[in-house]
Amino acid sequence: MQADVAIIGAGPAGLAAATVLARLGFTQVVVIEREAQPGGIPRHCGHSPFGMREFRRVLRGPAYADRLAAAARAVGVRIMCDTTATALLPGPVLELSTPAGIAQLAARAVLLATGTRESSRIQRMIGGQKPGGILTLGALQGMVHLNGQRPFSRPVVLGTELVSFSALLTCRQAGIHPVAMVEPGCNVIARGPSWALPRLLGVPLMMQSRITEILGRDRVEAVQIVGPDGTRRIATDGVLLTGAFRSEAGLLAMAGIAMDPDTTGPVIDSFGRLDQPGYFAAGNLLRPVETAGACWAEGQRAAEAIAAYLSGALPDREQGAELQIVGDAIRYALPQIILPARPGWHDRVQLRLARAARGELRLTQMGRIIARRRINARPERRITLSLPAGVTAAPLVLTLDERG
Amino acid sequence: MVAATSGFDVAVIGAGIVGCAIARRFAIDGARVVILERGHDVLDGASKGNSAILHTGFDAPAGSLELDCIRAGHAEYLQIHQRMNLPLDRAGALVLAWDEEQQTALPALMAQARANGVTDIQPMERADLLQAEPHLAPEIRAGFRVPGEALIDPWSAAHAYLYQAIAHGAELRCRAEVTSARRLADRWDLHSGAGQVQAGLVVNAAGLWGDHVQRLLTGESWFQIRPRKGQFVVFDKPAAALARHILLPVPTAVTKGVVVCRTVYGNLLVGPTAEEQDDPDCATLVPETLDALRQTGIRILPALAGQEITAAYAGLRPATDEKGYRIRADLSQGLVTVGGIRSTGLSAALGIASHVAALAGGQSARQPQHWPQMPVLAEGGARDWRAPGNQGLVCHCEKVSRREIEAALTAPAPANSLGGLKRRTRVTMGRCQGFYCSAELARMTEGRFTQPLTGGGGDAG
């Protein structure tokens, strides 16, 4: 099989990129999707709002996913569902697993848009036994929204990110009554009025608390929680792990593509290019985690970058400046390799904080501050810093001056 | 419930690797066999967590029954594995000395290996080791190579033995904890969670519950189980490229120590610990211990520092108050006891089975009539995701097809729990640990497990 551009992942980023590429005149644009339906994570989100930016109206997740797929198909994009990319080979060439066996797909360029997932129990290093009933929210949403099942009835919820509060709504919808919501930090991570939700639903919010041990042989029976008041054992029949997103990047790691331990995604340059020829990345694979709308916009930019690459118009990746983060306040920043910005591509540094902090964000090159911005933010907030024209290949240093 | 059944020749208590191998031997030899397993599924006890190595016995106690069983078991695995599609990765092992004391111990270990009949070992200098294992930490001093040590799949081996037993007429009963036993004139009368069973010979292969079952059968036990916990960490697949051999430490009097090795599934594991405990039913993960294991791994292979951990597990080995295997036959009582089978049980299982069959009256070791074909789960093997008609992938981290899951749900001993399905197919065992495929698995398995995935159906209040 042959394509102009192959895109792995039919979520908002992948479908947006495919649609733009087809509109730019590429006739062979193929999107590889491992699920039976295109649309990605929004398909599992029964709530709104989706689509404000893309369709100028408020949609629920599944409807939004359908519209993205319909838009791509309308301009001639081929979406191959039930197809899993199993290896990224030089060329670029993709090895695919399909219900009919393995196949290869050669393309002039490949865009990786495989998205994100939540950290597992072991990645969070929670001790204890391994009974049934320990789930991520992603797994729970599938069981509740796609199957109408209820895997537990009174779980402990770990996390206070935005998705953690939507977890409470999913639970409510399924008749599940969480017995506690547990947050290791001093503050609720999510912004805004969601804070009130646990109280409204009668779920105790336990701050500065960690789940240290899960107990139970066949099913979860209890968890041990260490908090400001000491150690407590809470009877429960499940543990719901929410958030702590990380890139779905196993395919990249196996291919030896350079990864960034801070974002958990690949190292990209200003054009979303990876360190293996012909490979690009966009969407939540790049970092945990942005809205569907932000991923959609990123997919569009990636399409423009790929079109420029295929016409030989991109500068060499080697001319880029490496972005270095100094200090412990900044959790990640990207793109990790910065080339002279052009309109429409990654012309800003995106970053997130590791903890709530305020001060002046500074980007320095050869001892000179070339961009600055005052911030007062929590870890959940998306922060960007515009890049000035004339960035050279010397290393760029990003710091947060907390006195400022 | 299942009605009373008489007329079994042999009742094997415990469907771990040893129980499955014993059932296979007796069934092939023509006996009518029933296997009573207390768990929802086979391999739910000690056999679920081990280091998946087929040992040569080079470091086993000289002249021991354990050594004989390892050697016989190893040899029989080599004979039969291809007939049943069982994987064998002839990685070989390196025994590594990191300090002077360990280096001093090497000659005696090599002499023991040769005395144990493992004569193909090769002493290796530091430079040889670094050439053989380029990622090894430069502090390595010396060691030796044991070419015969190999990597296998601990679960498909046991399932293959069990399926072959079933093909020869054996019957498996799960959730069949033996609750009382009575010795009649010429046979045993056992009551279990899955009905009453009468059998001429009882084989106690109850692993972590061996002493408990022994007391149930005879009123007392001549051995005491002292569970020894082993925790492991499993690194993600890119880490498997860092080690070609099984990397063994110089063993101590107490333990074989922490091993670093690939798995046949293409991961890299580090473990086990050796922690004594009283409870035979509870193997907890301790984050501090797992982190220490990770650090141990990094000391051996520094490049592991940049690798992700996919999973962790803890197993219990049924150690006893003595080091050796505790195998004893009392034919006047119609009883064979197989206790104290620790880490080497996977390697020795087939050898133990032959030994038990001989103890029980020396039936001829017949050739099997049926050879069940096991699904290929080994990385790089002819996996189903490569084949036409696989019906699409359900678990993408471990590339498990819908057809493989259906096959495990309709196998001769079908999966009854998520644990059983994992061990038969590897679903949810990859890096996402079920984030992606749990919902589809819950849908596919609804109404088919005795231990269902969705346990919250009834309102617990």
DSSP string, A263-281: TSSB--BTT-B-SSTTEEE
Name the nearest CA neighbour of B94 among B53, B148, B143. B143
pLDDT at A186: 86
Residue B358 sits at the vertex; the CA angle it makes with B353 and B361, to the nearest 5 degrees, is: 130
CA distance B234 to chain A (A): 10
Class of domain B8-49+154-225+321-360: alpha beta
Rounded to an integer, what distance in angstroms lies between the CA atom of residue B202 and that of residue B249? Answer: 39
| Strands B142-146 and B93-97, bridge-based pairing | antiparallel
Gap between the terminal Cα atoms of chain A: 56
Would you call B282 an interface residue with chain A, using a CB distance cutoff of 8 Å?
A: yes
Q: Convert the pLDDT of each residue in A245-278 to its tens digit.
A: 999 999 999 999 999 999 999 999 999 999 999 9
pLDDT at A195: 72
- A254, B237: Cβ pair inside 8 Å? yes
CA distance A259 to chain B (A): 10
Please say whether the beta carbons of A12 and A283 come within 8 A: yes
DSSP state of A288: S
ipTM of the assembly? 0.93
Residues whose CB falls within 8 Å of the CB of residue B368, separated by 6 or more in sequence, listed in order: B28, B164, B167, B168
pLDDT at B71: 98
Domain ranges of chain B: 8-49+154-225+321-360, 93-147+226-317, 384-445
The SS3 call for residue B51 is coil
The SS3 call for residue A304 is helix
Beta bridge pairs of residue B276? B228
The SS3 call for residue B226 is coil
The overall average pLDDT reported for chain A is 93
What pTM did the predictor assign?
A: 0.94
Tokens representing residue B312 in the block: 């962790």
Please say whether the beta carbons of B75 and B131 come within 8 A: no
Question: Is residue A95 predicted with pLDDT exceeding 90?
Answer: yes
Percent of chain A at pLDDT above 90? 76
Residue to test with chain B: of A143, A163, A210, most B Cβ within 10 A: A143
**Per mean pLDDT, which range of A133-142, A380-389, B12-21, B22-31 is the poorest?**
A380-389
Percent of chain A at pLDDT above 70? 98
Tell me which residue in A84, A139, A248 faces B434 most closely, judged by beta carbons.
Answer: A139
Please say whether the beta carbons of A170 and A137 come within 8 A: yes
> In this structure, which CATH number among 3.30.9.10, 3.30.1300.10, 3.20.20.70, 3.40.50.720 belongs to the domain B93-147+226-317?
3.30.9.10
The SS3 call for residue B68 is helix
DSSP string, A176-216: ---SEEE-SSSS-SS-GGGGHHHHHHT--EE-S-EEEEEE-
Cβ atoms within 10 Å, residue A177: 17
Tokens representing residue B447 in the block: 């109404």
Strands across the sheet containing A383-386: A330-334, A348-353, A383-386
Please say whether the beta carbons of B215 and B221 come within 8 A: yes
| Strands B5-13 and B33-36, bridge-based pairing | parallel
What does each of the 461 residues of chain B score in pLDDT, given as a tens digit? Answer: 334 456 899 999 999 999 999 999 999 999 999 999 999 999 999 999 889 999 999 999 999 999 999 999 999 999 999 999 999 999 999 999 999 999 999 999 999 999 999 999 999 999 999 999 999 999 999 999 999 999 999 999 999 999 999 999 999 999 999 999 999 999 999 999 999 999 999 999 999 999 999 999 999 999 999 999 999 999 999 999 999 999 999 987 777 789 999 999 999 999 999 999 999 988 999 999 999 999 999 999 999 998 999 999 999 999 999 989 999 999 999 999 999 999 899 999 999 999 999 999 876 778 999 999 999 999 999 999 999 999 999 999 999 999 999 999 999 999 999 999 999 999 999 999 999 999 999 999 999 999 888 865 443 33
Residues of B in contact with A249 (CB under 8 A): none
Question: Is residue A120 predicted with pLDDT exceeding 80?
Answer: yes
pLDDT at A344: 63
Please say whether the beta carbons of B192 and B37 come within 8 A: no
Residue to test with chain A: of B236, B396, B400, B403, most A Cβ within 10 A: B396
Q: What does the radius of gyration of chain A's CA atoms come to, in whole angstroms?
A: 22
Domains B8-49+154-225+321-360 and B93-147+226-317 belong to one CATH topology: no
Total residue count of chain B as it appears in this document: 461
Tell me which residue in B236, B285, B435 faces A139 most closely, judged by beta carbons.
Answer: B435
pLDDT (average), residues A325-345:
88
**SS3 labels along A66-119:** HHHHHHHHHCCCEEECCCEEEEEECCCEEEEEECCEEEEEEEEEEEECCCEEEC
